Amino acid sequence: MQATTRRRIFIITVVTAVILAVIYGFLPKPVPVDVAQASRAAMTVTIEEEGKTRVSDRFVISSPVSGSLRRIVLKVGDIVKKGQQVAVIEPVQSSALDPRSRAMAEAAATVAQSAIKTAEEQERAAEAATVYARKNFERQRELHAAGYIARDVFEQAEADSKKAAANHLAAVAGVKTARLEHSRTLAALGNSAADRAVDRRRIAIVSSPVEGRVLKLQRESEAVVNAGDPLLDIGDPGQIEVKIEVLSADAVSIKPGTTVLFERWGGNTPLAGIVRNVEPAAFTKVSSLGVEEQRVLVIADITSVPEEMQRLGDGYRVEAKFVIWEQKDVLQVPVSALFRKGDGWAIFLNEAGRARLKQVTIGHRNGAAAEVLKGIAEGEKVITHPDDTVRDGVRVRLRQRK
């Protein structure tokens, strides 16, 4: 009898243990979560963009005339005094004559030389006719005064004299024209690029309007330039400003006087700066992802001591961090703990191993933390990165770190 009782007790115990194990297996297990604590600390809201340094007063020296630029002997970084010669521009040389063009030019010069001789002979003939007409006029005037010839004969002699004088003047002009034509043909024949004939009196000297350093050579080797073509850039590398292209939506929060920190410029500590100007007009720029963006150019001055920025030059890359808002004592939680609920924000608290949903009012936010205005108190533990398995009232446990 005792053996049967013991057997029944054993069977009941085993069945009960199995049932309890099955029930425990179907019970919901605690959800592993990460937890952070709501705390008070200093908070800063910033806007970060890439910027590029540039010389504040940059002078682009251009060619005042069209011509042939001599090779510029200055190098980038050279010191330039005010009024110092920086470039020389010569008159553009004629094109080199090919054999056919040269033969034609030589023939034209020969024709022009013959034309000079013809014009000179015509001048001598006109001069002789003028002398004869003048003497004949004098004789006719004496005869007319003595009453030996009629008046119309005298007037004809006078007209012939004036006509001969006019023909002589025309012949003299013809000689000048022939000689100028000959000079023109010689110029076409002689002013060839192969002859390197340059009128040194017509060289244009380009001088620097300011004192500074050569920042960039727009032209270095000899070349033909037009009036207005840039030759070189001059400025003072010690006077540096930073230009930053920011999104138009972010530019609304930036104004002159906003504090800027310049990081990753090559030094160990950030450089301090201040916004000087926010341009009123935006421009369209295509991002690296092919998206069109409206951006605004912001100009900032570096206010750090010169010793810290002596290594900065023109066109250097920096990372600008605009300080839009900052407060020393702010109740804040990680941004990863927030999620949308309706029109507001909510978080999950870890209360005694269970998740509790809380509505919160959020103020300023940055990339890491958010200011909590209402909803939780300092020291409460919030669940970060809550997924779909975290719900109000569900059991939670801290995730084990490997």
| CATH number, domain 58-93+199-235 | 2.40.50.100
> Would you say the pTM of this structure is higher than 0.75?
no
Q: What pLDDT, in 10s, does the model give residues 102-146?
A: 778 778 888 888 888 888 888 888 888 888 888 888 888 888 787
Q: What is the structure's pLDDT at 200?
A: 55
Instruction: Check if the beta carbon of residue 212 is closer than 8 Å to that of residue 74.
Output: no
Q: State the CATH class of domain 27-43+329-398.
A: mainly beta
Q: What is the structure's pLDDT at 23?
A: 65
Q: Which residues of the chain have pLDDT under 70?
A: 1-3, 18, 21-28, 94, 96, 189-201, 306, 308, 401-402
Instruction: Please report, to the nearest 10 degrees, the dihedral formed by the alpha carbons of residues 72, 73, 78, 80 taken in order.
Output: -70
| CATH number, domain 46-55+237-326 | 2.40.30.170
Long-range contacts of 307-311 (CB under 8 A, 24+ apart): 308/267, 308/269, 308/271, 309/240, 309/271, 311/266, 311/267
DSSP letter at 196? Answer: T
Closest CA to 245 of 216, 289, 282, 200: 282
- Which three-class secondary structure state does DSSP give residue 351? strand
The type of residue at 5 is: T
C-beta atoms surrounding 243 within 10 Å: 15
Which tokens in the block code for residue 15? 């069945």
Q: What is the structure's pLDDT at 194?
A: 46
Q: What is the structure's pLDDT at 197?
A: 44
Query: Which H or E element spans position 323?
Result: strand 317-334
Instruction: Check if the beta carbon of residue 52 is closer than 8 Å to that of residue 312.
Output: no
Q: What is the structure's pLDDT at 290?
A: 87
| Rg value, the chain, Cα | 49
- Which three-class secondary structure state does DSSP give residue 75? coil
